[in-house]
Structure 1
Amino acid sequence: MSLHAGSRAVERFPNHSDNLNLIVKNVISDPEWWIKNEKKFENPDVVSVLVHGDMWSPQFLWKNDDLLSLVDWQQAHIGSLTEDLLHVLSLCISVEMKERVTVPLLRYYYNQLTAAMKAKNTEVPFTFDYLQQDYRDSLPLTACFAIIAISMWSNSPVLRSGTSDDEERVAEAGRRMLATLNHCVKECGWS
Structure 2
Amino acid sequence: MGIGKVFVHGDFWAANFLWNDDTLVKIVDFQMSHFGLAATDLTRLFNTCLSPADRRAKWQTYLKFYHDQLTKEFQGHKIPFTYQQLEKTYKLVYPRTSALLLPALLATLQTLTKSEAAEEQKTVTAKLILEKIVGIYVDILA
User: Do both share a fold (TM > 0.5)?
Assistant: yes
Unaligned runs of 5+ in 1: 1-42, 187-191
For residue 98 of structure 2, the aligned residue among 139, 143, 150 is 143
Contact 2:105 2:129 in 1 (8 A): yes
- Looking at structure 1, the residues matched to 93 and 113 of structure 2 have their Cα atoms a distance apart, in angstroms, of 25
Q: Describe the shift of the 1:144–1:159 C-alpha distance in structure 2 as closer, same or farther (beyond 3 A).
A: farther
Give the superposition deviation at 1:124. Answer: 2.3
Name the Cα RMSD after superposition: 2.3
* Residue identity (%): 23
Q: Are 1:81 and 2:38 counterparts?
A: yes
1:26-75 deviations in Å (ceiling 9; x for gaps): xxxxxxxxxxxxxxxxx9x4421222111211110111221111111122
Contact 1:159 1:169 in 2 (8 A): no
- Looking at structure 2, the residues matched to 58 and 106 of structure 1 have their Cα atoms a distance apart, in angstroms, of 21
Contact 1:146 1:180 in 2 (8 A): no
Q: Are 1:69 and 2:34 counterparts?
A: no
TM-score, structure 1 as length reference: 0.65
- Looking at structure 2, the residues matched to 159 and 110 of structure 1 have their Cα atoms a distance apart, in angstroms, of 40
TM-score, structure 2 as length reference: 0.84
Count of paired positions: 141
Greater C-alpha radius of gyration: 1
- Looking at structure 1, the residues matched to 3 and 60 of structure 2 have their Cα atoms a distance apart, in angstroms, of 21
- Looking at structure 2, the residues matched to 128 and 172 of structure 1 have their Cα atoms a distance apart, in angstroms, of 31
